[in-house]
């Protein structure tokens, strides 16, 4: 019995020692820094579709425009949907890249982005969601939409 007690004491002390070693050698825990950006979703009004800004919290990044577009493509949350917010962007749309040059953001998607898009109100809603989401950043004045790594311009014709 005395032998088992020593084994238990040794196991506990070993576990405490391992925990202390990890705490000492892993360095201080630095909290993840975050920032708030806006993503714009649509709400149908009696005579129009309006874009509504919602706050999204993201990790601090230099690629903030890309992060904003990724948040936009996630679509509205369940709570936002309950408030009547929607997205006009096709499900399955994938962001390939955002490139900013001379105030123009070139946003490239897979070909699901403009697959079977019709209707002037929907086309305008898609464009406005992207435009408003990106022009919240002072480095972006206009947008250009492309498909499949610049293979062609996005077709946002009604």
Confidence of residue 20 (pLDDT cuts 50, 70, 90): very low
In terms of average pLDDT, the best of 7-11, 31-35, 47-51, 126-130 is 126-130
pTM: 0.79
- Show the beta-strand stretches assigned E in 22-148: 34-44, 49-59, 95-101, 104-109, 142-147
* Token pair 């499949």 in the structure block, residue: 148
> Does the structure show a pLDDT above 90 at 70?
yes
Contact 107, 75 (CB under 8 A): no
| Choice between 72 and 13, residue whose per-residue pLDDT is larger | 72
Q: Is 91 helix (H, G, I), strand (E, B) or coil?
A: coil
Contact 53, 87 (CB under 8 A): no
Please return the burial class of 72, using the count of CB atoms within 10 Å of its CB with bins 0-12, 13-18 and 19+. buried
Q: Is 90 helix (H, G, I), strand (E, B) or coil?
A: coil
Angle at the Cα of 129 (from 156 to 110), degrees rounded to 5? 50
Query: Residue 116: in which H helix or E strand, if any?
Result: none
Q: What is the distance between the alpha carbons of residues 66 and 108, in angstroms, rounded to a whole number?
A: 11
């Amino acid at each position: 019995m005395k032998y088992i007690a020593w084994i238990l004491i040794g196991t506990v002390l070993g576990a405490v020692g391992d925990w202390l070693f990890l705490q000492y050698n892993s360095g201080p825990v630095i909290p993840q820094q975050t920032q708030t950006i806006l993503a714009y979703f649509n709400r149908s009004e009696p005579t129009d579709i309006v874009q509504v800004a919602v706050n999204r919290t993201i990790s601090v990044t230099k690629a903030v425009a890309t992060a904003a577009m990724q948040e936009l493509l996630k679509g509205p949350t369940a709570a936002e949907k309950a408030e009547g917010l929607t997205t006009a962007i096709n499900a399955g749309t994938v962001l390939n890249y955002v490139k900013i040059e001379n105030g123009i953001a070139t946003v490239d998607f897979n070909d699901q982005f403009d697959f079977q898009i019709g209707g002037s109100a929907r086309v305008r809603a898609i464009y406005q969601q992207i435009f408003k989401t990106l022009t919240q950043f002072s480095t972006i004045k206009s947008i250009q939409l492309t498909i499949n790594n610049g293979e062609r311009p996005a077709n946002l014709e009604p």
